[in-house]
Every structure is written in structure tokens, then in C-alpha cells.
Amino acid sequence: MSHKKEKQPGNIVSEPMAAYLTADTGVSFMNILGGAKFNTDTLNDWDILKLTRDGLPKRLLMRMAKKISLTLQELADIMHINERTLQRYEDDALVKTEYAEKAIELAMLYDRGEEVFGSIDKFKVWVRTPSIIFKGETPLSLLDTSVGFDMVLNELGRIEHGIFA
């Protein structure tokens, strides 16, 4: 038995061929957000970035709040905006980038919750239920900070994989 190596031409890669795909952005959150001016079949991270930077119309925020059963006060608290200031926006007026970003994160969170629990209604119950894992607070009460968002998302991951406190 001879262990001779065959000489390969210089332009041939000697590693297996692989397809590298980017992670799915998961655009079903747009339904929670109330739909926007993007084709969700081709929506990507750059479109979401543009949507965030351009701002969202107040009517989309109100539609989302209704869909996920948040009061105006709860939405205002999560977005760090005075409830009265939010009320003053015209329906077609664009809210600032930081508020749009929070709204998109919230829609993505509820989309993730629906995915984990199998229905948006089950997630809406869970998000309002005090939990030992959150020291007796509701997941909804944590959403006023990015750390709280991360805690809730991490807990959803644990639930999805069957890891309970």
C-alpha cells in the first residue's frame, strides 16, 4: 500500500463544499406590529434597520398594543414615553427612532412568545403572570429595560428546551 498524495491543482479547494446561510430574521413579528410597507417575503435585517431609523406611525403602535393586549399606559412605560405625549402624536405621525426600536423589539418578543407557547393568547397570559424566576414580578414588568427584555427572552429559551427553574 502506497500513501502517495495526489498533486492537486492550485485553484482547487481541498475542503468540503458547504453552503453558508444567514439566520432567518423571522418576519412574522410584522403581523404583530400591524404590518408595514415591506414585503415580508423578502424582509431582511437592513429593512428592519431602515424601518427603525425612519420611525413608525403612531397608528401602528396603537394597532400593536391592541393586538398584544397592552394598555396605552403599559405601552408608554415600556417605551419610556409619557402617556400624554404618546396621545398627542397624530395617528400618521412618525414616532422617534428610540420608540420605534422598542416597539419592534416588543413585537419580536411577542412573536417569539407565540412561537414558544404555540399561541399568542397563551403567551399573553404567561407575560402577565408573576414568576418565581423573576422574583415574583411579571415578565411584562421587566420590559422597561433592555436587561429585562434579555431576561424574558432567555426564559423563553429555557421554556422552549424544557428547562424550568
pLDDT digits (tens, 9 = 90+) for 48-105: 888 889 999 999 999 999 999 999 999 999 999 999 999 999 999 999 999 999 999 9
Mean pLDDT of 5-31: 52
Backbone angles phi, psi at 25, to 5 degrees: -70, -30
Q: Is the pLDDT of residue 25 over 50?
A: no
Q: What is Dmax (Cα atoms) for the chain?
A: 84
User: Would you say residue 156 has pLDDT above 80?
Assistant: yes
Model-wide pTM > 0.75: yes
pLDDT tens digits, residue range 102-136? 999 999 999 999 999 999 999 999 999 999 999 99
Q: How far apart are CA 136 and CA 97, in angstroms?
A: 32
pLDDT band at 6 (very low <50, low <70, confident <90, very high): low
Tell me the angle at which helices 120-127 and 97-117 cross, rounded to the nearest 10 degrees: 110
